[in-house]
């Protein structure tokens, strides 16, 4: 199948993927499509993706050297030692993640600067070909008409019930957000409509910024919004034989840790060597290179011209507070314990926050792959294992994504079902403190990937109910075939 005549999309929700395909059919490029998919994710995956969060896009093409657009959040301009703690809202809750529970902090003061709108504007300004209101239309229409809540999003809502129940506005917005129900978000539709016909200053220097500031009991000030900009960075690179890898660079930590694991493997490729590399990464992350963002979603797109877009975005768990009149929740990045290893309210002001999110590209003479995943600190292990299967174990893209995974963190090893008995024996012998999971689970990430070149394919991770599409151009008409 010729690369110049086909496209592919992979995302964590069917509507997210279909929005990208619709824009590709309208003649848009991969970057138009990934922005459309991102906007649709606000509608279809509202507890994982939000205009109130942040993210990263890794972009490349035949005439575009790989570049990383960083639209993750900044810390507030207010010095941490000047915070009046009795005047802010910041408190702990516990989320039930099935076999694990975890404490995290929410409230107005848990929110860092919302960065996604700046990312949308920068991507559109530098990479897109269609008008922004055209790109936004699928998400606007779906938010107005309603979307059927699937079991995956209902499960996320169950995990984050303490967040949904944190405020009257959040309870009202997510009322009826149950599996099989049709959920509408008219205020989000209006917000996206205005955003798509406005510019950077509308959000960061206008009424929306003032609404967030005026909600009170938070830390964000007018200066935080006025100063925020999406940054374009040179990706971190690694060559492994004929493969060249590109990923998220410093100040974020995920790409660095993934590459360190791959380098640690050297000539060994067995399961025990993979675990040793994970243990090495776990040791490395104990330095100031920490991580953030559990509630994450990933979108990969390849268009008919050979452009690749790999986008990961997050809202943390959300801070429980809805932006007045806008239909979305703010992030809780300042309430993420992972990124505050020295304790909360101990940051340097006006600094780009670190993240584990790692949108990645793999290039080879025969193929090009865009991939990424959600999953907080599991991002580094999920992507490392999938890349290892592709580059070292010569697996196909679908085989690499479907292969069983493990995750090592803070002295504990979690193992998915599917490893052979020999590997299991070696893993348990090497690290007896472990948990064998009975089922595959979103805990182990949700890798969504597309491939172009001699073969074009899409692989969306079943662990997060992913959805993939491959489309073929025939006589100027694009037809799509969906695949799970």
- What would the pLDDT profile of 317-346 be if each residue is shown by its tens digit? 899 999 999 999 999 999 987 666 677 898
Token couple for 112: 């860092």
Per-residue pLDDT of the chain (484 residues; tens, 9 = 90+): 334 479 999 999 999 999 999 999 999 999 999 999 999 999 999 998 999 999 999 999 999 999 999 999 999 999 988 999 999 999 998 766 555 566 789 999 999 999 999 999 999 999 999 999 999 999 999 999 999 999 989 988 988 899 999 999 999 999 999 999 999 999 999 999 999 999 999 999 999 999 999 988 999 999 999 999 999 999 999 999 999 999 999 988 899 999 999 999 987 878 999 999 999 988 886 654 444 445 689 999 999 999 999 999 999 989 999 999 999 999 999 998 766 667 789 888 999 998 889 999 999 999 999 999 987 778 999 999 999 999 999 999 999 999 999 999 888 999 999 999 999 999 998 888 889 999 988 889 999 999 999 899 999 999 988 999 999 876 555 555 545 4
Q: Which of 351, 310, 308 is nearest to 333 (CA)?
A: 351
Q: What is the model's pLDDT at position 291?
A: 40
Q: What is the model's pLDDT at position 159?
A: 86
Contact 49, 315 (CB under 8 A): yes
Q: How far is CA 17 from the centre of its chain?
A: 14
Catalytic residue among 16, 247, 290, 296: 296
Give dist(CA 196, CA 44) in Å, integer: 18
Residue 296 annotated as catalytic: yes
Length of the chain in residues, anyone? 484
Q: What is the model's pLDDT at position 295?
A: 62
170-199 burial, b at 16+ Cβ within 10 Å, e below that, comes to: beebbeebeeeeebbbebbbbbbbbbbebe
The pLDDT tens digits for 269-299 are 789 999 999 999 888 866 544 444 456 899 9
Provide the 3-class DSSP secondary structure of residue 361.
Answer: strand
Burial of 256 (0-12, 13-18, 19+ CB in 10 A): buried
- Domain range annotation of the chain: 3-483
Question: How many Cα atoms sit within 13 Å of 449 on the Cβ side?
Answer: 30
DSSP state of 470: E
Residue 244, strand partner residues: 239, 363
- May I ask the CATH class of domain 3-483? alpha beta
Q: What is the model's pLDDT at position 98?
A: 57
Q: What is the model's pLDDT at position 484?
A: 45
């Amino acid at each position: 199948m010729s690369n110049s005549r086909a496209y592919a999309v992979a995302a964590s929700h069917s509507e997210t993927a279909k929005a990208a395909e619709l824009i590709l059919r309208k003649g848009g490029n991969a970057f138009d499509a990934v922005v459309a998919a991102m906007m649709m994710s606000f509608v279809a995956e509202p507890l994982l993706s939000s205009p109130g969060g942040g993210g990263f896009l890794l972009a490349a093409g035949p005439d575009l050297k790989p570049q990383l657009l960083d639209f993750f959040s900044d810390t507030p301009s207010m010095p941490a030692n000047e915070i009046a703690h009795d005047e802010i809202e910041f408190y702990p809750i516990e989320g039930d993640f099935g076999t694990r529970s975890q404490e995290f902090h929410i409230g107005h003061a848990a929110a860092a600067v919302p960065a996604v709108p700046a990312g949308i504007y920068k991507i559109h300004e530098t990479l897109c070909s269609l008008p922004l209101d055209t790109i936004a239309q699928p998400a606007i229409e779906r938010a107005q008409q309603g979307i059927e809540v699937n079991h995956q999003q209902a499960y996320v809502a169950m995990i984050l019930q303490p967040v949904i129940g944190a405020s009257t506005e959040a309870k009202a917005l997510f009322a009826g957000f149950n599996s099989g129900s049709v959920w509408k978000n008219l205020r989000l539709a209006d917000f996206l409509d205005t955003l798509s016909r406005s510019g950077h200053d509308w959000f960061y220097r206008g009424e929306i910024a003032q609404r967030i500031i005026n909600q009170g009991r938070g830390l964000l000030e007018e200066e935080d919004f006025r100063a925020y900009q999406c940054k374009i960075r040179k990706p971190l690179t690694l060559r492994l034989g004929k493969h060249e890898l590109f990923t998220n660079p410093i100040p974020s930590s995920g790409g660095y840790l993934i590459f360190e694991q791959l380098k640690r493997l050297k000539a060994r490729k067995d399961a025990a060597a993979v675990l040793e590399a994970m243990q090495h990464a776990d040791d490395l992350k104990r330095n100031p290179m920490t991580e953030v963002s559990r509630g994450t979603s990933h979108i990969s797109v390849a268009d008919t011209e050979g452009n690749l877009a790999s986008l990961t975005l997050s809202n943390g768990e959300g801070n429980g507070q809805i932006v007045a009149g806008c239909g979305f929740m703010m992030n809780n990045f300042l309430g993420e314990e992972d990124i505050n290893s020295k304790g909360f309210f101990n940051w340097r002001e006006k600094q780009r926050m670190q993240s584990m999110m790692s949108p990645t590209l793999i290039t080879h003479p025969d193929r090009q792959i865009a991939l990424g995943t959600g999953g907080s600190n599991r991002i580094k292990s999920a992507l490392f294992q999938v890349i290892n299967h592709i580059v070292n174990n010569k697996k196909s893209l679908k085989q690499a994504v479907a292969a069983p995974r493990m995750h090592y963190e803070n002295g504990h090893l979690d193992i998915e079902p599917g490893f052979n008995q020999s590997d299991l024996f070696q893993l348990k012998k090497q690290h007896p403190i472990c948990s064998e999971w009975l089922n595959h689970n979103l805990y182990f990430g949700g890798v969504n990937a597309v491939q172009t070149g001699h073969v074009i394919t899409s692989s969306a991770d079943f662990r997060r109910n992913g959805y993939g599409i491959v489309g073929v151009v025939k006589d100027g008409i694009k037809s799509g075939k969906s695949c799970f």
